[in-house]
Amino acid sequence: MPKKSVQDDQEKRKDYAVRIYKILENQYGKDVHSPLKFKEPYQFCIAVILSAQCTDEQVNKVTPELFKKFPTIESLANAPVEEIENVIYSTGFYKNKAKNIQAFCKTLIEQYNGKIPQTIEELLKLPGVGRKTANVILQELYKIPSGIVVDTHVKRLSNVLGLTNQKNPEKIEQELMNLLPKKYWINFSLYLIFLGRTYCTAKKRLCTQCPLKNICISSSL
Q: Catalytic residue numbers?
A: 132, 151
CA–CA distance, 175 with 1 (Å, rounded to integer): 19
Please report, as a single letter, which amino acid is at residue 149: V
CA–CA distance, 142 with 164 (Å, rounded to integer): 28
Q: Which of 125, 164, 121 is nearest to 144 (CA)?
A: 121
Q: In Å, how far are 52, 90, 187 from 147, measured between CA atoms?
A: 18, 30, 11
Q: Which of 215, 103, 120 is nearest to 160 (CA)?
A: 215
